[in-house]
Amino acid sequence: MRAATVALAAPLSAEDQVAQSMPDASPTKWHLAHTTWFFETFLLSSQPSYRVFDETFTYLFNSYYNAIGERQPRAERGLLTRPALTTVHEYRAHVDEAMAPIVAAPSEEQATLLELGIHHEQQHQELILMDALHLLSRHPFPTPYTTAPLEPSVEQDQRWIRFGSDMAEIGHHGSGFSFDNELPRHQQLLTGFEISNRLVTNAEFAQFIADGGYHNPGWWLSDGWAAVSNRQLNRPIYWDEGTETLFDLHGTHEIDPHQPVSHLSFFEADAYARWAGARLPTEAEWEVAARQSAAEDGAARYRSGPTHHPVAATPGTTAFMGTLWEWTSSPYIAYPGFRAAPGAVGEYNGKFMNNQYVLRGGCHMTPPHHSRVTYRNFFPPHTGWQASGLRLAR
């Protein structure tokens, strides 16, 4: 897992890895250090024998844990030209070495934190790709992250999958790992609904644009319309003017009509759904549908997880996992009975439960086996730099 992080950074130069393209994004180097800091802080720092690599890193590479202490302001991570990238790699090696005995024979508490640290770093693996995409896109003459060829896409018919009213079990259960925000499992009454077998495609979204979708306030939430008006938005973030080409990790290329439309904000996804006479699914509806799809898809396939193609979105099938993060209509709030863990680890998820929406499913940038049917990703409604698409419901 640790090697995978380094491999994702490899196509980027030291210069690429130090830059911060916006306050929401972080330099690659910072991701490499922060994920290491996580293991150092939560697993090593309490070990009497552990020698701290550099005292200043507690300040430099803490992300948002108030209980740990003060930290470099988020918007100023790009000022950290020092330590050098090479030093950060030494830091990783230092921590990996110190972690080895723990990995070999963890206590129960260590096992829990180790598993959390692994899933935490996988989240940052995805962020490394998303942040790199944003940085590269802000260059006036953008260059690709990868030279891997684009996979051809296939048109897929849209159809509705029907579910009757039912009492549903929502949230994680069983012995596998989950984040605290997937708990506790609880019952929820669902009214009958239909959900699409696939994501909305680029061609379909282009019709929304051609129909004046970005110029008609009737399709938009009030805050979304304010964003469209004030920032004069007229297309998804990575589509070029003229809406015939887009930029992604493969560079600038023609928009594939059959690929799912990606990098939508919640406001864009919600407006499209209204224009299409449908709506976004709730996260509970999505979870019920995804669970059934996985079951039908065959237990074997679900257990092995989607193959990991970090830079290519595969054309949507009935599969609910691994294409794009899918916006739901559900604000990101606590499940009934949720309690954050005590201490700094409790800051992981709970304190962000405001003005964000839940996304489900994982995307082509998500590490294999990382996402789950019960996994709750979340982003604020105006951002589109994450790999997010939409599936209609009604």
User: What would the two tokens of residue 65 be?
Assistant: 């844990």
For its own copies, the closer of residues 153 and 377 by Cβ is 377
Footprint on residues 371-390 left by its own copies (CB under 8 A) = 381
Chain Cα centroid distance, residue 201: 20
Indicate whether 21 belongs to the interface with its own copies (CB under 8 A).
yes
From 107-115, 244-252, 295-303, 348-356, span contacting its own copies (CB under 8 A): 348-356
Q: Does 138 bind its own copies (CB under 8 A)?
A: yes
Tell me if 390 sits within 8 A of 280, measured CB to CB.
yes
Per CB under 8 A, 56 contacts its own copies: yes
Nearest distance in Å: CB 224, its own copies: 7
**Binding status of residue 167 toward its own copies by CB under 8 A:** yes
Measured distance CA(304)–CA(301) in Å, rounded: 5
List of long-range contacts for 203-206, beta carbons under 8 Å, 24+ apart: 203/257, 203/258, 204/261, 204/276, 205/236, 205/261, 205/264, 205/272, 206/243, 206/255, 206/257
Q: Does 81 bind its own copies (CB under 8 A)?
A: yes
Cβ distance 372 to 361 under 8 Å? no
Question: Which residues between 214 and 273 bind its own copies (CB under 8 A)?
Answer: 217-218, 220-225
Q: Is 343 left (phi over 0), alpha (psi -120 to 50) or beta?
A: left
CB of 193 to its own copies, least distance (A): 9
**Closer by beta carbon to its own copies, 158 or else 355:** 355
Strand partners, 196: 160
Among 169, 353, 368, 383, binds its own copies (CB under 8 A): 353
Sequence-separated (6 or more) residues with CB below 8 Å from residue 364: 309, 310, 311, 312, 313, 314, 322, 323, 324, 387
Q: Stretches 106-114, 117-125, 133-141, 366-374: which one binds its own copies (CB under 8 A)?
A: 133-141
Residues in contact with its own copies by CB under 8 A are: 13-19, 21, 29, 56, 59-60, 64, 66-67, 72, 76, 78-82, 84-85, 135, 138-141, 143, 167, 186-189, 191, 217-218, 220-225, 329-331, 333-334, 336-337, 351-355, 381
